[in-house]
Structure 1
Amino acid sequence: MSEILSLTRAARLIGVARTELQRKIQRGELVSHDGMVAVENLLVCYPDAQLEDTAESRRVAQIKERAFGKRVFERAMPDAEVLAARITELSKTLATSQGQVKQFNALLGRLWDKITEAESQLNAESLPMMENLKTWIRKEVDLAMEPGFVNPMAIKDTVLSIITAQVTVLPSKHDFLVEGHDSLLEAAMRSGIPLNYGCSGGNCGLCKARVLSGEVKKTRHHDFVISESEKNQGYILLCSNTAVSDVVIEAAVAGSVQDIPFQQISAHVKTMGPINEDMLLLHLQTPRTQRLRFLAGQSVTLRVGQSFSAELPIASCPCDDRNVLFHINRQSGNLFSDFVFDHLKQNDVVEIEGPQGEFILHEKSTRPFYFFAFDTGFAPIKSLIEHALSLEAEAIYLHWFGSGPTNIYLPNIAHAWRDALDNFHYEEHIAGFDLRSVNGKRAKTLIEKLNDINISDTNLLQGDIYIAGPEAAVCVAEQYFLDKGLPKTRISVASVK
């Protein structure tokens, strides 16, 4: 049984976001030491914590699953060998505790013999004092041996330690849980942690990392050869191993766009279908051995037919790197757009090149995230929001501006987020004019709408601002926030055609 927990495991135990625990620590409501909390202190803050998930929390998990591809937590069990190893470790802990109890009882017996021996040598005046001491010892031993209150947090943590293992990444100090049959790489990606990798199939060796402590198990054959010297130092492939116990690994984590390599991938059209008359959802699937590595908010170049190409933002989360989504806008006379709408079909090959762009999430920021999407700017914004959700961001605000009602083309996704997640806030705004052409009176109208949002939300200027959409609208919005005194480092923009 673990008495000291990481914030990740503690948050999972009581069913709250990690950021909620961080806020309590900052306010002094929850005692912590070096990023760890005690089970007893958790119980003080959450005396009514439930052992099982409520129906509402399961509903939220299902919304998350539909929203950004993160698997519903279903207490998925690991394979038999891993499960047996974890139970064995728990049994060792139990055996150690039982041995300590036996030693304690033996010590009590010897202590009692010593007291009896000393009592025979005391004078009459000292005997009452010795009798009081013996009475106190009997009372304290009886209290110590009573079963007492059973801590539900401790029970749940014991179960959680059997079905999951915690992984800490150094030197970045990221941490995540490995569930079910996930490899270390898969679990990290589901948690929004961009570890270095390439094929994810054991061929390239880019996900090689060093195990500093804990036990791992190889779950998949890999062709990449790790030398005996490296094996002796603890090196493994993250894509081919899972965690048996809590593990600390040394691995690189992408912190900027410079850490993501340029890639060329031949993907296939898995599905494609209309969102409305002028918008199409394109779902590409990469080969199993060559997945697209990217950061949320980035773009790629797509090539179709003989030579038709376009740079498009990715509208999906990096947590599912094999299935990549795009929102294609019909543009009359545009060769790429015409080919996709009129000729592209399921299973056709689409070449992907990239990624590119620096419109990415500032993950280490403690400020709330404010997203402003103008028309098709929702595509990269959607990717950023899905990544923010996987990181359990403290507060997320989305304002979607449409030239007209049909330009807010996927409102149900945002509505689902808003209905299911307490930390997500969403508003729709109809401009009433083409957001690709914003000047003069139109610019003034857009500024007035932004100002209305600012007046109604006093926290807006305390957040990080992300703006995406047609260049004309993006420029007006960016300048508005600059004029309000926000530094450029807190405003991220992306132009989408």
Structure 2
Amino acid sequence: MGDKHRVRFEPVDIEIEVDEDETILDAAFRQGVMLMHGCKEGQCSACKSFLLDGDLQMERYSTFALADYESEEGYVLLCRGHAYSDLEVELINYDEDMIRAGVPIQLVNTEVAAIEELTHDIVHLRLTCVSPRELAFNPGQYADVRIPGTEHWRSFSMANTPSTDHQADFVIKRYPGGHFSGLLDGGLSVGDALDIKGPYGTFTLRESDRDLVMIGGGAGMAPILSLLTHLREQGIDRRTTFYYGGRTARDLFYLDRMDELSEVLSRFSFVAALSEETGVAGAEEGLITDVVDRLETDLSGADAYLCGPPPMVEAAIELMAAKGVPEGRVFYDKFTTTASADEPT
């Protein structure tokens, strides 16, 4: 371990202790301070902040996330930054409601409880917590899963809620040759040991009585299902519409879960959209964002939750702005690609 220093975040007036050997973002996670973040690898700029005072040095990062001129001006990436003195840092992107509601990161030993094919390329992976016996998290968050036999991790959103904190349920898109997802095609078996750590992420439900519009695609089903299950468990009665997009009917799954939610949540509706197949009963036709555009008018009184592949999320962010949703009420989780592999998180 290295020397320890204090890091003060403005304008939220929060101070944490940071070891020189850990990044500032990891130190915040360890102490339950939920700073804004994305890839955690210096690729996305979600944790970009401004150094007001002190000696901060960074590991390698992408200039797409932090341009050279920004670095010269004093901007830093907290996921790559190490403190070598006491620091004062101005946060640029932060959610004051969430920053103090974080859960300290845990390392949990688990074992595989179930592997279930949901579609031709989507798999449900259930892990049972062994040590410790529970994983504390908030609905909508994600965990990192260690690739067996390596020190590499992959990030996946949890589809369950804290009511079943003795397990972690993941909905994972399988990619040919994927360093972790490829193991779901015979490389993992029930009873195998896996390490996970978490929770991470700020894709969690904000308290409000506003309507909810949720848009997902692919494995983006996972955190949205967690949020919807949380609504059901807590008896939260908000008008909620979940739009889910796939290419063809074989990309749709958990339709029975959506029916069950509709029976319990009186103001919930589910809309499936198919971009490459027509004439499927109960499904709209077109890209999911085109369907939302067609069916929704003014959304200025709603909160939006978006999760899935980056192109879908980017298009949905633009659509929500056009429909009147304020930027501060658009919450999203992009399944970005890792810096070292061909498989999204």
| Within-5 A mapping of 1:145-184 | none
Inter-partner Cα distance in structure 1 for 2:205 and 2:223: 11
| Within-5 A mapping of 1:391-402 | 391-395=234-238, 396-402=240-246
Inter-partner Cα distance in structure 2 for 1:448 and 1:272: 34
Inter-partner Cα distance in structure 2 for 1:466 and 1:328: 19
- Indicate if the aligned counterparts of 2:115 and 2:126 stay in contact, CA closer than 8 A: yes
Larger radius of gyration: 1
Aligned match of 2:208: 365
Aligned match of 1:241: none
Whether 2:145 is the aligned partner of 1:318: answer no
Secondary structure at the residue paired with 1:494? strand
| Within-5 A mapping of 1:35-434 | 256=98, 258=100, 259-287=102-130, 289-307=132-150, 309-362=153-206, 364-395=207-238, 396-432=240-276
Inter-partner Cα distance in structure 1 for 2:325 and 2:179: 40
Inter-partner Cα distance in structure 2 for 1:371 and 1:311: 21
CA RMSD of aligned residues (A): 2.3
**Code of the aligned partner of 2:182:** D
User: Once the 2 structures are TM-superposed, how far is the Cα of residue 495 of structure 1 from its aligned partner?
Assistant: 1.1
Secondary structure at the residue paired with 1:461? coil
Inter-partner Cα distance in structure 2 for 1:385 and 1:266: 27
Q: How many pairs align?
A: 231
- Indicate if the aligned counterparts of 1:368 and 1:394 stay in contact, CA closer than 8 A: no
- Indicate if the aligned counterparts of 2:173 and 2:218 stay in contact, CA closer than 8 A: no
Inter-partner Cα distance in structure 1 for 2:219 and 2:256: 15
User: Once the 2 structures are TM-superposed, how far is the Cα of residue 271 of structure 1 from its aligned partner?
Assistant: 1.7
Per-residue deviation, residues 103-156 of structure 1 (Å, max 9, x unmatched): xxxxxxxxxxxxxxxxxxxxxxxxxxxxxxxxxxxxxxxxxxxxxxxxxxxxxx
Q: Structure 1 unaligned runs (5+)?
A: 1-195, 197-254, 434-443
User: Once the 2 structures are TM-superposed, how far is the Cα of residue 288 of structure 1 from its aligned partner?
Assistant: 6.7
Inter-partner Cα distance in structure 2 for 1:336 and 1:350: 11
Inter-partner Cα distance in structure 1 for 2:211 and 2:292: 17
Secondary structure at the residue paired with 1:342? coil
User: Once the 2 structures are TM-superposed, how far is the Cα of residue 390 of structure 1 from its aligned partner?
Assistant: 2.0
**Code of the aligned partner of 1:454:** E
Secondary structure at the residue paired with 2:125? strand
Q: 1:375 to 1:445 in 2, by over 3 A?
A: closer
- Indicate if the aligned counterparts of 1:375 and 1:403 stay in contact, CA closer than 8 A: no
Aligned match of 1:451: 293
- Indicate if the aligned counterparts of 2:172 and 2:181 stay in contact, CA closer than 8 A: yes
- Indicate if the aligned counterparts of 1:257 and 1:295 stay in contact, CA closer than 8 A: no
Inter-partner Cα distance in structure 1 for 2:312 and 2:242: 16
| 2:328 counterpart (482, 485, 489) | 489
User: Once the 2 structures are TM-superposed, how far is the Cα of residue 313 of structure 1 from its aligned partner?
Assistant: 0.6
User: Once the 2 structures are TM-superposed, how far is the Cα of residue 257 of structure 1 from its aligned partner?
Assistant: 5.5
Whether 2:310 is the aligned partner of 1:471: answer yes
Inter-partner Cα distance in structure 1 for 2:288 and 2:260: 27
Per-residue deviation, residues 145-178 of structure 1 (Å, max 9, x unmatched): xxxxxxxxxxxxxxxxxxxxxxxxxxxxxxxxxx
Inter-partner Cα distance in structure 1 for 2:290 and 2:124: 32
Percent pairwise identity = 22
State the TM-score, normalized to the length of structure 1.
Answer: 0.44
Secondary structure at the residue paired with 2:104? coil
Per-residue deviation, residues 202-250 of structure 1 (Å, max 9, x unmatched): xxxxxxxxxxxxxxxxxxxxxxxxxxxxxxxxxxxxxxxxxxxxxxxxx
User: Once the 2 structures are TM-superposed, how far is the Cα of residue 334 of structure 1 from its aligned partner?
Assistant: 0.9
Inter-partner Cα distance in structure 2 for 1:445 and 1:313: 23
- Indicate if the aligned counterparts of 1:257 and 1:357 stay in contact, CA closer than 8 A: no
Q: 1:325 to 1:447 in 2, by over 3 A?
A: closer
Q: Which has the higher helix share?
A: 1
**Code of the aligned partner of 1:448:** D
User: Once the 2 structures are TM-superposed, how far is the Cα of residue 445 of structure 1 from its aligned partner?
Assistant: 5.6
- The higher-RCO structure (CA 8 Å, 6+ apart) is 2
Inter-partner Cα distance in structure 2 for 1:467 and 1:348: 33
Per-residue deviation, residues 272-304 of structure 1 (Å, max 9, x unmatched): 221133222111111374411111111111013
User: Once the 2 structures are TM-superposed, how far is the Cα of residue 420 of structure 1 from its aligned partner?
Assistant: 4.0
**Code of the aligned partner of 1:256:** M
Per-residue deviation, residues 422-469 of structure 1 (Å, max 9, x unmatched): 122111111229xxxxxxxxxx965532211214xx6x4321110101
